[in-house]
Structure 1
Amino acid sequence: MLQALNDQGFLVTPGLFKQAEIIRLKLLHSKYYCPSCRKPVTLKAGSKYIAHFAHESTAICINHSEEEGLYHAQGKLQLYQWLLASRLVQHVQLECYFQIIKRRADLSFQLEGAKRVIEFQCAAISATEIITRTRDYQTIGIQPIWILGANQLKRVNSATILLSKTQEHYLQMNDYQGGAWLLFYCSNSKKMIKLNNTCLTGKQRTVGNLNVYSLYQTDISRLLQEKDTFLINEQWLYEKKRFRMATPSRLAKQDKQFQVWLYQSQLHRSVLSSWVGLPVKGQHLLNCSIWEWQARIYYDFFKRNKRFSLKQLQLYIQPFKRDKQQYLLLKAQSDPISEYLNYFLMLGQLVYQNSTYCWKGSIRTYKTLDVALRKDLQLCSLLNKALQEKICSHRLK
């Protein structure tokens, strides 16, 4: 832990002190106590790690955790000082203990009248642990903010990262207007990294708008409220090209089933319609790739249902759905099926009237891969134009 209570009951944070002051504290042989369990702790300081306190016995504190690494401890102190420097933030606390839920948050503060906590997570933990800790805070009316250590950021390129199924539980979203986002922080470079408008392909690859900030060039309020325009970017076109040109080998069970379905339907991934594989918010709520469920809707459901209700389509896709209650950080839950239908509505492929969708388009595949790639670019351009017009219309209102 980075701070402890002294004999007078005041919190001491030696990691913020200069080396001479830390040496003086050690020479005084003062007694220190854990803020959570009030048991004795010992001041630890050295040249290779940040000054901190350690329990004299690891079994006595109900909130005890393994020793933090330098990267984590350094990051917590930096984020603490960053919050203190903000004019918008009040009542900043480092390692704040909540007795009612027996949790110790890395940081707590008040923003716009609401209590918030930050969990700076630099080590991999289970999805169950993420859900449990998040739910605990929410039971006392606190919405936690998870910031991952940049040591967990697996970057593919300027707009793509690899995101595991467990890490999907860190996705956060405040309202329906913006997409889900993730925060990372590097304590070595003092850089905050935010991935906005995350779009998952279904196989860990996640595309979005990746923004990097020097820590003191931004603030917590901006990071929480910032939104990027949701458009189909060039990186998504690259993902579609990868899908079309892939030669499936050593497929997982779900992918094998999709490959068999394509074969039985006399379809090949390289020449599927450009309407298959469009980025949507909420892909994490489906347990198959974006290519699979959209291909099934386009080539199976639409082909057999020229008129249908949203409920009918939701029932069709039900076997591929996950429990949305597992994603507690998404205050707004985008429905990926409705998002997908909106693309067709924007370009007149579908008409919606009296709670019923009417299919007006044609089901097609392409003759060659070159044609398919050209059609991908054309559809992307048309949809982005429609999306921008929709955004402008919304702003005028």
Structure 2
Amino acid sequence: MLTALNEKNELVSLIQFSSREQLHCIHATSSFICSSCRSPVILKVGKIKTPHFAHRSRKNCPSSSEGETDNHLKGKKSLYLWLQSIGLNPEVEQVYQQIGRRADIAVHTGDQEYAIEFQCSPISSKVMLERSKDYYSLNIIPVWILSYEALQLSASGIIKFTEFHQQFLRYSETLKQYFLLSYSSEKNIFIIIYLISPISKHSFIVTVEHVLHQSFPFPKFPLTAISLNTDHVGSYILYREKWIVSRFKYNQGHKDHFLRKLYEEQETILLNPPWNGLPLCSNTYFVTHSCEWQTYLYLHMKKEKALTKERLLAHFIQLIKQKIIETRQLQINGSIDYAVKSVSEWLKMMELCHVVTKQGKMYFINDNCMKHKVETVEKRDEAVKNFMNKYMNDIINLYNAR
């Protein structure tokens, strides 16, 4: 903690002290208690970790459920100073006794109060939801910011998102896509992650933007309309092809519903057409790989010969209800019907790639698309390359149109 009450019941904030010598002085002359539970706390002024207060025992403090890392202490201090620098009047570690919560930072803008939570350590979606509901009960808007140091981003632009990280994905009505807001307490910058394209359950191709916190407003964060490009798509297709080979190599035979479905339809995963598994905004909704859920739609279209969007959607929803297609536990905006959006976006993409033709309300498989099918395993790379060369611009334009 960065705050505590002294013997005079005055709130002492360690942010106001500029030197460790000052802190050593008050450590020797003062005693402190927690502003939430009123139990004794110790002022720790070491050489490595950020100076802070620590409970002698946290078990009786309802506002202290996690051990506090140095990264968290630095982040709270840095975010507090950032809000001050843009003309606001924040309060660090604001206690709300009515709900037994201590916000990392509280701040008012106009008539609205916000509780900023800088999250460094993993918590469950249940805990995160409970905290948010508590804040909303007091008409306080919670703002969750993930520590960038908690993420694993490779030099190739691949990031690992566990279920914990995925709780921080937010949907932008303006950009029509998900993004993730994070903050680096080491570099004092905001990092916004865009174009989140899943390539497995926990791995994503992303685009990252760094913003100096001095130029970052609150509460309306400036989001940049970053466009999909050929490098992103090329990387995505490369990982899709790796997924196909891996799925074939480590298949579980008839226990694998997807491979069994392909077999029943006289198809094989290694000859799966290059239009199954394209980068769509809707891919973010699903744990199930894009190649898999898009193939289910294609196989149903192929089997039924002609379908309305409504009938294809009904089939898709049934696959989701049966857990054949698995969705992510995202904070999906209430105005978005992700199933409708996914089917609509897929049909539009298939029309652009001349895989599907629309006549009135009916959709048909276009026989001309067969010229791009994969004839043999040996010719797969060539077929994929030819298809992507022909439709790369259409794929990018549809994604960016959103």
| TM norm structure 1 | 0.83
Q: Could you tell me how far apart the structure 1 residues matched to 2:129 and 2:168 are?
A: 9
Among 350, 366, 370, the residue aligned to 2:374: 366
Q: CA-to-partner distance for each residue in 1:186-214, whole Å, 9 max, x for gaps?
A: 22232322111322234222123211234
Q: What is the CA-CA distance between 1:8 and the residue it aligns to?
A: 4.2
Answer with 202-211 or 8-17: which moved more.
8-17
- Is the CA contact (8 Å cut-off) linking 2:297 and 2:312 kept in structure 1? no
Equivalent residues in 2 for 1:88-127, closer than 5 Å: 90-111=88-109, 113-127=111-125
Distance 1:300 1:324, change over 3 A: closer
The secondary structure found in structure 1 opposite 2:170 is: coil
Q: What is the CA-CA distance between 1:307 and the residue it aligns to?
A: 2.6
1:382 aligns with 2:387: no
Distance 1:318 1:145, change over 3 A: farther
Amino acid of the structure 1 residue aligned with 2:238? K
Q: Could you tell me how far apart the structure 2 residues matched to 1:235 and 1:54 are?
A: 46
Higher relative contact order (CA 8 A, sep 6+): 1
Distance 1:373 1:113, change over 3 A: farther
Q: What is the CA-CA distance between 1:347 and the residue it aligns to?
A: 6.2
Distance 1:134 1:266, change over 3 A: farther
Q: Could you tell me how far apart the structure 1 residues matched to 2:252 and 2:12 are?
A: 52
Q: Could you tell me how far apart the structure 2 residues matched to 1:254 and 1:25 are?
A: 70
Answer with 201-210 or 289-298: which moved more.
201-210
Q: Could you tell me how far apart the structure 2 residues matched to 1:69 and 1:15 are?
A: 16
1:340 aligns with 2:346: yes
Equivalent residues in 2 for 1:260-275, closer than 5 Å: 260-275=260-275
- Is the CA contact (8 Å cut-off) linking 2:99 and 2:134 kept in structure 1? yes
Among 239, 243, 253, the residue aligned to 1:242: 239
Amino acid of the structure 1 residue aligned with 2:178? A
The secondary structure found in structure 2 opposite 1:293 is: helix
Q: What is the CA-CA distance between 1:226 and the residue it aligns to?
A: 0.7
Name 1:394's counterpart in structure 2.
Answer: none
Q: Could you tell me how far apart the structure 2 residues matched to 1:232 and 1:254 are?
A: 38
Q: What is the CA-CA distance between 1:276 and the residue it aligns to?
A: 1.5
Count of aligned residue pairs for this structure pair: 384
Q: CA-to-partner distance for each residue in 1:139-189, whole Å, 9 max, x for gaps?
A: 444443322222321213453212123422221124264311112222223
Name 1:5's counterpart in structure 2.
Answer: 5
Identity of aligned residues (%): 23
Distance 1:324 1:39, change over 3 A: farther
Q: What is the CA-CA distance between 1:298 and the residue it aligns to?
A: 1.2
Q: Could you tell me how far apart the structure 1 residues matched to 2:137 and 2:279 are?
A: 33
Name 1:299's counterpart in structure 2.
Answer: 299
Amino acid of the structure 1 residue aligned with 2:394? L
Q: Could you tell me how far apart the structure 2 residues matched to 1:194 and 1:216 are?
A: 15
Q: CA-to-partner distance for each residue in 1:37-82, whole Å, 9 max, x for gaps?
A: 2333232221122221122332221222243121221121111111
The secondary structure found in structure 2 opposite 1:172 is: strand
Amino acid of the structure 2 residue aligned with 1:381? N
- Is the CA contact (8 Å cut-off) linking 1:42 and 1:54 kept in structure 2? yes
